[in-house]
Structure 1
């Protein structure tokens, strides 16, 4: 018999249901009383070209020997216009349980452009699968086991497709404000965004962006991405400006941004089995959806719909937080991710605070 039809939200394609609130782990975490510098990394060869991958080594529980502590692996995937450094603080907290790897998608951060010059969502998905296979195969404890996959924005959407394509590689999935398909343009982008689909317009956008000073680009990014820009430490702003200056010297940097945006919009036009909402309803790994209620880039109203669409989904909504919860609210995000990992292996910890954080 055919599956009974369910009411579907016209904007998202997801059924308007409820999802369990995420549990927050009570595991001890190291204090983030200082701003850690970006983790070191290196260029690694993949099938689509060279990508830069940073490594956050496992630390174990703070103040304990940690001989019997869980030691798993995690891969972090940044969003549009971001880089592996977006995960510096969260990876430091999750190092109590995870050996962490964070990649720069092709053309972003310190990664080279893709070998074939394509910035499609499908290409980014292939890159994440490539790095995920590499992380899982690294020698040492947890070698050969599935990896915890975390993605933000564009990286969240790519991670969703990765988890659907290769569930054997994914122990759990965390989606931080993923760029799920919507069929109206967010006001912050203006009505000119769909013009990127027209021939020649991405090149024009690149030329205009090239004339914006790095400091102004960072200010604009912070205003768009953070619920409260005052939460950004001065050190992080200085690092972001330095990254923008570094990217200004890369001839492919602006092309990666505009063409990846174009690829993202194009992916929204997929229907049938290739539609991201349909893919979400078939996900196998346990999934955590994290969203800030001040997200200006992706509508927070999509959060409960996505968490409800995923078969084993749970939701963490963060008060006063914007599009990049891993940067703006790393501790509650880390506690929800750790609880997801604990539950995935059947560990029952003492129930922590409810998953509505401030």
Structure 2
């Protein structure tokens, strides 16, 4: 009976959620093209208003679907995505919606879609949420609005009195996965599970290695044998029907868990107050939510769930070898319920296609924490895709204002220390302060010089967003996206910010797609050799002999903007370079080991530019000077496609661009000498007298 009704969106579910009609056979009556109608996000109804509406009344409040292109533009735009962040639900809403879900609970497990998920792009992948031990299915309540813009979300609800076994739940989810994969075989299916739900996701993935699944697992309960859950099983046998205070005291150890946050305050006899995001502190007493906790987890249900956790952990662990799905483990560093930190590392090594992201200050209920954003995590890890393979261009979702702000604030020290000066060239050749000379419409190709360690990138990308709201799509080394093996290279998580900001691994295909999508593209022909230069090689270009970008730019009529950046010698000096390191056996072995972990580039090239060994030169820091950027006059390639097919003409333009970059560098080196605020101390004095947010003057162009 549990399996027979598993695919119905029960009419008993709260009106806070929308349902799809299913056929009697259990197959979805849903066109692969036509998505379910989404509730309007323009006017968010209050919970009271929503609960009083009938299904017919609710359907009249749905918005009409826009065209595919308009919908993708609206949903994936930079500014639109920030709206849900202002309307983000809180931890308090978890209890409110959980109470509403179990009010008239009954029947078998089934799927529901939250109304606030809104409308998503037509090609959005399916996301199946598998909750933890509570089973209610609203554990993503604070994430719904943002997730709903890029996913088709279904949440699994397990009624309190339901006693479907773990294997029964596995079969239920498996049937849904296979049915949806049959309808849309080229669309990935995301299984987002926490705790018990993570075990469920692993089990389904192990049984279906031929289906394109993406697993997002938060604090998996595969470590149940080492958890604080274990002592509760025999303890429950001795308890009366109502869970007494002593058990609540045990549960209070579950820091970060929704139950713990209420129980802890019950024991203290204090009102429970929660502050989420920018919301004001909205006091509510434990007495309001204690019945919800009791209804959600009565003694018999708690005992059943603990026994299920035990079997789920054993089931999933015995089948880890069969999991082939792309997997992202989210591990909380302060999870007092499960040893999630250690378990995350174990799973990372045990699973074949697995990455991990650590949240050292987070607790067990990661998805409900106020500063956690699952969409940002998925984007940063490079795990969002709409097809079988990640397309760095079509799958890219621009950073929201809040995402950019967090990225900018984390690297603000570079911006403050270097006080960047930006100069650009207008169409008439006039040099002006700021980025007014940068073309607004793409495709635009920025070709420039790579400073030592690429230190110029953070201020450069940030200023384009701040001043012009332009996402600069940098073409980066593949080691920031993929490691050939575990070793000494930085973890991929170190590069999450550059992926959020739009960087792509260097390849002809990605370059082609960026220009064809009219992007603003950032290219450094000198690559790693230029960024890791030797002593005395400051501002020396290391470009390939052959032109690598001119023909492609001409094919799409891209404007080429040559630019120079100086200031690296004002912040550090190379005192121990590659040549010095290679003379010492220890460092030579280290360099060879690092290089073996990274994807090799320009293997068919010769000369200095082919030397792409990964190493870190010895740098003597200086008191930070100032960074200067000068963007030359855009070079038009529109209408020159046929002309630039000629190899000689193409090479001439290539050399012209290189010459312009060198001129930009020479101009800045000369002009910075007349900048009274080139050094740090004068800048600090100016900001102390004019305000630390004021713009520090510089030389006149």
Normalised-by-shorter TM-score class: 0.5 to 0.7
Cα distance in structure 2, aligned partners of 1:263 and 1:315: 26
Residue of structure 2 equivalent to 1:296: 336
Listed one character per residue, the Cα deviations across residues 315-338 of structure 1 (whole Å, up to 9, x for unaligned) are 111131111222116654322324
SS in 2 for 1:85: coil
Within-5 A mapping of 1:146-157:
146-157=188-199
Whole-Å Cα distance in 2 between the matches of residues 35 and 292 of structure 1?
22
Equivalent residue, structure 2, for 1:33? 86
Alignment of 1:72-111 (within 5 A): 72-81=125-134, 83-107=136-160
| 1:91–1:130 CA distance, 2 compared to 1 (3 A) | farther
Question: Residues of 2 paired with 1:221 and 1:93: CA distance?
Answer: 31
Q: Confirm or deny: 8 A CA contact 1:54 1:84 kept in the other structure.
A: no
Which residue matches 1:345?
Answer: 389
Structure ID, larger Rg:
2
Change (3 A) 1:124 1:244: farther
Equivalent residues, number: 295
Inter-CA distance 249–183: structure 2 relative to 1 (3 Å threshold): closer
The offset of 1:305, in angstroms, is 1.8
Distance 2:383 2:126 in 1: 14
| SS of the residue 1:158 aligns to | helix
1:355 aligns with 2:493: yes
* Contact 1:176/1:325 (8 A) holds in 2: yes
SS of residue matched to 1:336: helix
- The equivalent of 2:252 in structure 1 is 220
Tell me the equivalent position of 1:184.
Answer: 226
Following superposition, the deviation at residue 194 of structure 1 comes to 4.0
The Cα offsets for residues 223-282 of structure 1, whole Å up to 9 and x where unpaired, read as: 3438999665788996997665246457x84322221112222455x4xxx5x3342232
Aligned to 1:12: none
Judge conservation of contact 1:90–1:330 (CA < 8 Å) in 2: no
Partner of 2:241: 207
Alpha-carbon distance, 1:97 to partner: 1.2
- TM-score w.r.t. length of structure 1: 0.65
Deviation at 1:204, TM superposition (A): 3.7
Partner Cα distance (1:237, 1:164) in 2: 45
Question: Structure 1 stretches of 5 or more lacking a match?
Answer: 1-25, 61-65, 108-112
Using the alignment, how far apart are the partners of 2:285 and 2:170 within structure 1?
Answer: 27
Task: Give the 3-state SS of the residue equivalent to 1:88 in structure 2.
Answer: coil
Answer yes or no: is 1:49 the counterpart of 2:101: no
Distance 2:282 2:301 in 1: 23
Shift of 1:307: 1.7
Q: Which deviations, in whole Å up to 9, do the C-alpha atoms of 1:195-246 show, x marking residues without a partner?
A: 62x5xx5454463526689xx79x9387343899966578899699766524
Structure possessing the higher relative contact order (Cα contacts under 8 Å, 6 or more residues apart) = 1
Structure 1 residues 207, 134: CA separation in 2 closer, same or farther (over 3 Å shift)? farther
Give distance in 1, aligned partners of 2:136 and 2:198: 13
C-alpha distance in 2, partners of 1:170/1:253?
38
SS in 1 for 2:217: strand
**Partners of 1:341 and 1:159 in 2: CA distance:** 18
Could you say which residue in structure 1 is the equivalent of 2:353?
312
1:88 Cα deviation from its structure 2 partner: 1.3
Q: TM-score, normalised by structure 2?
A: 0.36
* Corresponding residue to 1:59 among 119, 143, 163: 119
User: 2:274–2:282: 8 Å Cα contact kept in structure 1?
Assistant: no
The answer to whether the Cα contact below 8 Å between 2:193 and 2:216 also exists between their aligned partners in 1 is yes
- Report what 1:10 is aligned to: none
SS of 2:335 mapped into structure 1: coil
2-structure distance, mates of 1:168, 1:203: 43
Unpaired segments ≥5 residues, structure 2? 1-75, 262-272, 397-472, 474-479, 482-490, 497-701
Q: 1:50 to 1:80 in 2, by over 3 A?
A: closer
